[in-house]
Amino acid sequence: MILQAFFLAIAQIGDRPFRKVLMLGVLLTFALLVAATVGLLWLVQTYFGDGITLPWIGEVQWVDSLFSATSILVMLFLSIFLMVPVASAITSFFLDEIAQAVEDRHYPQLPEARNVPFAEALSDSVAFLGVLIVANLLGLIVYLIFLVTAVLAPFAPFVFYALNGYLLGREYFTLVAIRRIGRKEATRMRKKYGSTVFLAGVLMTVPLTVPVVNLLVPVLGAATFTHLFQMLNKER
């Protein structure tokens, strides 16, 4: 069932709504990361200016340049872990377009979906973004601890897959199901099929390890979970 939903999503990746949401997600994510980098550099320039004065050494002129270069490297490093979570959160705001495109093509017999209010969609997207970023930063710390511990090092990748699998599965299934059965019933259904939702989320994390391809994950995830929800809802 999970693989069937995934391959159906891949087959539709070239559709116009998919391309539109993908481009919006990537552009907005890139703009957000650039803005964060510029903001960090501004803080460095504001607090360190052209240099600082150190005891017994005197004025040091290159400190601001060092911190600026370090800030850029830090943002580039964090973007590896934050690009996809941020793109996922932004794409979730446009998830309705992906879900509707899937339903129009594969489930034309369905009645019109519930219209999610703008405020609710914005709240869900912001909450999703916050949870993903905090969880991935905490996961990064655990991941690094595992890497430097000889006994735990082989299990480090499982932290990445389990954490993101759970988060992606939980959020995407809930956001897709809300359109059809409301928030309360969506939560109940997600818990009922928890193992299936989790495994589908883990499947979505596999492309996360492939550069460039990982940017497709938010769109593929939304489409895959739309199919999965319809299959599970029919079974239910």
How sure is the predictor about 76, in pLDDT bands with cuts at 50, 70 and 90? low
- CA 95 to the chain's CA centroid: 12
Using the structure block, give the residue that is written with the tokens 């979730």. 92
For the stretch 158-200, pLDDT in tens is 877 888 888 888 888 988 998 899 888 999 999 999 999 999 9
**Cα(83)–Cα(79) distance, integer angstroms:** 5
| Least confident window among 28-37, 70-79, 188-197 | 70-79
Each domain of the chain, given as residue ranges in start order, spans 2-235
User: What integer pLDDT is reported at residue 232 of this predicted model?
Assistant: 94
User: What integer pLDDT is reported at residue 148 of this predicted model?
Assistant: 74
* DSSP letter assigned to residue 79: H
CB 82 within 8 A of CB 134: no
The C-alpha angle with vertex 5 and arms to 82 and 28, in degrees rounded to 5, equals 30
The arithmetic mean of pLDDT across residues 54-63, rounded, is 50
Residue with the bigger pLDDT between 221 and 145: it is: 221
pLDDT at 71 over 60: no
Helix axes 156-192, 217-235, angle to 10 degrees: 40
Other Cβ atoms closer than 10 A to 94: 21
How sure is the predictor about 53, in pLDDT bands with cuts at 50, 70 and 90? low
Sign (positive or negative) of CA dihedral 119, 194, 102, 206:
positive
pLDDT at 106 over 80: yes
